Chains A and B, each alone.
Chain A
Amino acid sequence: MDILNLLLQGVSVSILPANLLSCIIGVLIGTLVGVLPGIDTVSAIALLLPFSYGMDSTAALIMFAGIYYGSKYGGSTTSILLNVPGEAASVVTCLDGYPMGQKGRAGAALAISAIGSFIAGTIGLIGLTLLAPPLAQAALAFGPPEYFSLSLVGLILLSKLTGTSTLKSALMAVIGIMLSTIGLDSLSGISRFTFGIDELDRGFDLSIIAMGLFGIGEILTAMTHADAKPDIPSVKFRDLYPTKEEWQRSITPMFRGGIVGFLVGLLPGPAATISSFISYGLEKRYSKHPEEFGHGAIEGVAGPEAANNSAISATMIPLLSLGLPFCGATAILLSGFMIHGITPGPSLITERPELFWGLIASMYIGNVLLLIINLPLIGVFVQLLKTPLNFLMPLVAVVTLTGAYSINNSMFDLIWVIFFGILGFLLQRAGFEPSPLIIGLVLGPELERGLTQGLIICNGNIWTFITRPLAATILSLGFIVILYNFVTWFTKFNNKRKELDANRS
């Protein structure tokens, strides 16, 4: 096995003391970035770039990569414990993670999320090791018309992810799309809905809205029942870890999430966030207990947390084998690489094999390290719940706002975090679940750009979309699912009517 040999060489590079140390430092910082709500991976790496100037290039790269994949491990912690997502990719984990915590199963949720992250991270890495160049080539076949089709189908399928009311979810998704149109339009170069405010030109960062709606929003919600004592059942040590039943229910979602995340990670866009939503949707659809979703279904934690981790490994594929970053976090990684004199691209594997394989091997090691770090921490984190909320929540607010500021170094963004916080609070009060808004916000721009760029490429003829094999396949799959939903809805409706008729007579 050629690859195995190369990987072993890589291991020998990555266990050199300096490299191993930077791997440990990287994953520790990454975990911290993930756990602290509001602190975004991109700004964390940007802040740390100057400190790496004196480091050896291999060690520096290993550290940056460690921060990147490490951050997705910790993201679920505050989602489960406080209903405040640590990262945009863990928004969906709140839906079932937090109810689990309320039932005294926080430890189990954290453990499943850590183990799921490990399994999926490893699936992603195996894909990265074995299939990087061909997969990167395959990803290139996706052009604007294909992204349009994917986002369209995604929006339709995902917008009714949560809650009971289709109308409310759809409304949230539409508001998300509307918010995504604010800013400089990439096609025409004009500012839309900015009212002449320059700062609005860049649009709203996903993190700003997610931290507002979910972070500050939840803090405000907590304030309104601050008098109530935290009603957390006392947790015994053996209750910290998942039961056999929880295990059995989680194992398939982990693998399914791992594969979905990997595929989504190959495509441009905020893959970790998108993949977590897709995985949640899938698990809800395939679960034997769909009624439990939203009330603490373990699958709703295992799947998404697995998905966002394997997505991370997959986003490294276009970066390492083509030198093309497909999302913000890999763009900053590329910068980190370039500053250290390394240009990722097709020639990296042949020109600097020790570096390439050393990095990959360090990611395997880092994943194990993350599991070792995270499992014992569960006990510590669960203790956090005993802290009275009136001490804990202001602290979370400070961290969230600091993180929000660091994204663009902008005071202006802070106003919006608070605005969205109040909005999130009011939405919760009115019985709206804001997570479809995030889906609209993420997929809206992909949809619009896919359509406009695609139309130029197809000479303005939208029917060409259907003649492109990939786009046509995706669109028809979406169509079939919608048709299926419609038919099941109609049969249900019909049955109910018959039942009513029977009752009446």
Chain B
Amino acid sequence: MPIRSFILFVSCLLSILLLGGCTSMENKVVPATTKYPDKPITLIVPFGVGGGIDLVARTVEKSASTHLGQPLVVVNKPGGTGTIGWNEVAGAPPDGYTLAMTGIEIILQPLYGPTKYHYPSALDPIAQITELSLIMAVQSDQPWNSLEDLINYAKKHPGEVKFGHPGIGGINHVLGETFAKAANIQLEQVPFQSGAEAMSNLLGGHIQVVFLNPAAVKEQLKSGKVKALALGGEKRLTDPVFANIPTFREQGLDVVCNSWNGIAAPKGLPDDVKKKLSQGIKKVIDDPEFQKNMENLGLQITYLGPEESEEKWLTDSQKLTKTVQETGIAEKIKEQKK
């Protein structure tokens, strides 16, 4: 009977799914572990394969097993600007076997509207690995050689200069708007799907400015296709390719907007587990091979321990709350979410 077998098949599929769903729901059971870690640790990257944060995670994965005693396994759970992956970690048992890669989005996302968890309080930082100073770059055949040139041009031609960034409400977008506000100029934003897409539109002359992380700019800067006008960090970068880029502050604008990546666990980790874990991650970060790999990626290691990271989350949170309100980004996104 064709119809009967059809129904049978569909119901089989559905029951498999339901069973699968059940197994992943047995949450919040904290085993009394004595020897942590005794099985592989999952590191959830809440973004797709191939992004900057994914590369940091995989660099950690590469050096982790020798220092943690167990392999670290990277699992990508992309979607919802990171919220899907972080929801999963925030709701996972705090046993040290489910960790998350974190970025500045854990602070930004809750500012734009209700999220399932308030990540800065639902997650417990283990370490900050790297801090990314965003770079403001223009095509090399543009007549602007300094921030001042660009600001003057934009003042004379309001609305003509457009900047690209890899996602609305992201830190790159925030930096762009902060700069425009500080310089008192009108910059139009163009959202793209990725840093690569923004860069190719800059190279093609379709947009005039990009705000991107150093790794996304490095190759084009080296080949002289783009020039960097300013750096979003507090200090200059040490990498020779970037060393001569002046910060916004040096050029008289009070704009500091840094992105960072780190590792966090669900809140409520047992003290001994947290200690072991943070020591293990510290050892990974001190490993010369890890440092070399990070340097290859164009990333500067800026280690912060659990307490320092927590402080940083707090200050960033206060600062960004103010910034997204002043620049009108939060209002714009919230308004559209209604």
Contact = CB atoms under 8 A, between A and B. Distances in A.
The answer to whether A and B belong to the same complex is yes
Given A53-B62, A227-B2, A335-B58, A220 B196 contact: no
B79 interface: yes
A325 B223 contact: no
Contact of B220 (A50, A325, A345, A397): A345
B75 A409 contact: yes
6 contacts: A50-B73, A186-B167, A199-B79, A331-B48, A411-B17, A418-B14
B10 A334 contact: no
Given A198-B83, A226-B5, 5 more contacts: A45-B49, A189-B333, A220-B6, A322-B220, A457-B206
A324 B87 contact: no
A140 B78 contact: no
Interface of B: 2-3, 5-6, 9-10, 13-14, 17, 20-21, 24, 48-50, 54-55, 58-59, 61-62, 73-81, 83-84, 87, 112, 116, 159-160, 162, 167-169, 188-194, 196-197, 199-201, 203-207, 215, 218-220, 222-223, 225, 293, 296-298, 333, 336-337
Chain A contact residues, majority secondary structure = helix
Nearest to B203: A140
B49 A187 contact: no
Interface string A292-327: 000000000000000000000000001000111110
Given A202-B78, A227-B2, A453 B220 contact: no
Interface stretch (A119-127, A336-344, A357-365): A336-344
Contacts of A459: 159-160
Contact of A331 (B6, B74, B84, B194): B194
Contacts of B84: 198-199, 201-202
Contact of B54 (A139, A335, A341, A456): A335
A438 interface: no
- A interface bracket (residues with beta carbon within 8 Å of B): 35 or more
Contact of B219 (A219, A326, A346, A410): A346
Contact of A408 (B6, B17, B79): B79
B49 A198 contact: no
A427 interface: no
A186 B193 contact: yes
Given A198-B87, A202-B78, A223 B5 contact: yes
Chain B contact residues, majority secondary structure = helix
B178 to A, nearest CB: 17
Contacts of B81: 184, 201
A167 interface: no
For A142, A198, A328, A410, which residue has the most chain B Cβ atoms within 10 angstroms?
A198
Closest 7 CB pairs of A and B: A345-B219, A202-B79, A143-B206, A140-B204, A346-B223, A189-B168, A331-B50
Contact of B297 (A144, A189, A338): A338
Contact of A457 (B5, B6, B168, B190): B190
Contacts of B5: 223-224, 226
A370 to B, nearest CB: 24
A411 B21 CA distance: 7
B188 to A, nearest CB: 6
Given A50-B61, A411-B20, A187 B223 contact: no
B220 A323 contact: yes
Contact of B24 (A187, A224, A339, A411): A411
A189 B169 contact: yes
B336 A343 contact: no
Contact of B222 (A184, A268, A345, A410): A345
